[in-house]
Structure 1
Amino acid sequence: MVDMETPPSIANDAADNTTTPLNRDENSEDASSINAGEKESKPAIDGEEDEEEVRGILQVIASTGKFWHDWEKLKSVLSFKLKQVLSEYPEAKMTTTEQEETYQELVKKLDEALHNFEEGPPFTLQRLCEILLAARRIYPNLSKLALALEKNLLVTSTLAVCTDPYPQALEKPGEIDKPSEELQVQSSLVQNGVEPVVVGDGDEIMTEVEEADIDDDMTIDMEALEEIVASSEANSTSTGNS
């Protein structure tokens, strides 16, 4: 946020205008040096961090369907992302004679539709965030993207701010849709004709081992029982013959 300085009073301006020609050059040099110092002292805005913050907010909404921020602030975030996404399409660089609806008119129409929501965001907020996060992948053409955005903005129902605890940070931008190393290894093995060995959870393995032990014990017990029964039958037969 840029700090707003108190503008100088009219009396001070009048006093400055009464400086003699001799001192005018010195005053101008002092003013230029002060302005240069002010420019150097202003904190630089890191666009990458701002974009990452915006993406993080939209990812939380896209995954939960809820929002936690003040609507006016969130509205400005959505407006920023909307204009950024639209500017990435080739149609944004076309001349007005090459387009039925100019790019500027399209941006203005969609941005106004977004700002028409005063009490809260549209109930289609989750879908809007999903589209803005992956617009080029979902809609290769700007016209189809515009129709999808307009459809989700031409609604009347709104959402209420969520009072639940804010969810933990999601994966960093760039890590979403990125296959894990394990999946990459399995994919390469399949391509080479080797079936990957799927290893189960440790608890599952122990359960299988315990079940195998039980089966072995039952087999041993059954064999012993069969021997006892056979021996008993043999004894009864010999007793009957005698």
Structure 2
Amino acid sequence: MAVTFHNVNLEAGLQKLDQYLLTRSYITGYQASKDDIAVHAAFSSAPSSDYVNVSRWYNHIDALLKLSGVTCEGQGVTISGSAPPAEVAPSSPAIDDAKAPAAEDDDDDDDVDLFGEETEEEKKAAEERAAAIKASGKKKESGKSSVLLDVKPWDDETDMQKLEESVRSIQMEGLLWGASKLVPVGYGIKKLQIMMTIVDDLVSVDSLIEEHLTVEPANEYIQSCDIVAFNKI
């Protein structure tokens, strides 16, 4: 079923989209799709953080696009009153296993900047907001973060579907699993790259890895787990 939103660059359109995303992680379905790309492309600039749900969704989709992890076809969506979305560049081709580097060289992925550094203007704006909250005596709301994980199997015989099921079976308050994909690392071995959104005050990524992802029963499939990128949203 197609979904229609009005111009998301106007306050009325933003309010409707913010309300819509209050109970949803994506525009349609349970993973990022072309519907999310269409709505994301309709924005002339990043939405104000005053629209909490829209801002969370926008930053998450922005990170996924840089990762080229959007593959689902979606269900169809229309943005009335907005210019047609810009054409999205095709994702990079998969790495040929025969030419892929050895698994131990995989740490080079950590050098990829998926989310960009915070500018001086953004730092200053954040400090001003924090000072305003402190001056007004209001309690600062708990922030959220978008995290990209590398989950590595024991060998090329590891069942990657069961590995992903083991990861997604970990459920806790403040944790939402997102899009994922398999990435070749060499010698027929693939690792799982998976996004998650967390509430900072409720979920510790280090504890999640040490107490859930690398212990029984998950460690039957998982050799190690690393944080590739960590972005405040």
Larger radius of gyration, structure 1 or 2?
Answer: 1
Fold in common (TM above 0.5) = no
More strand by share: 2
TM-score range, shorter chain: under 0.3
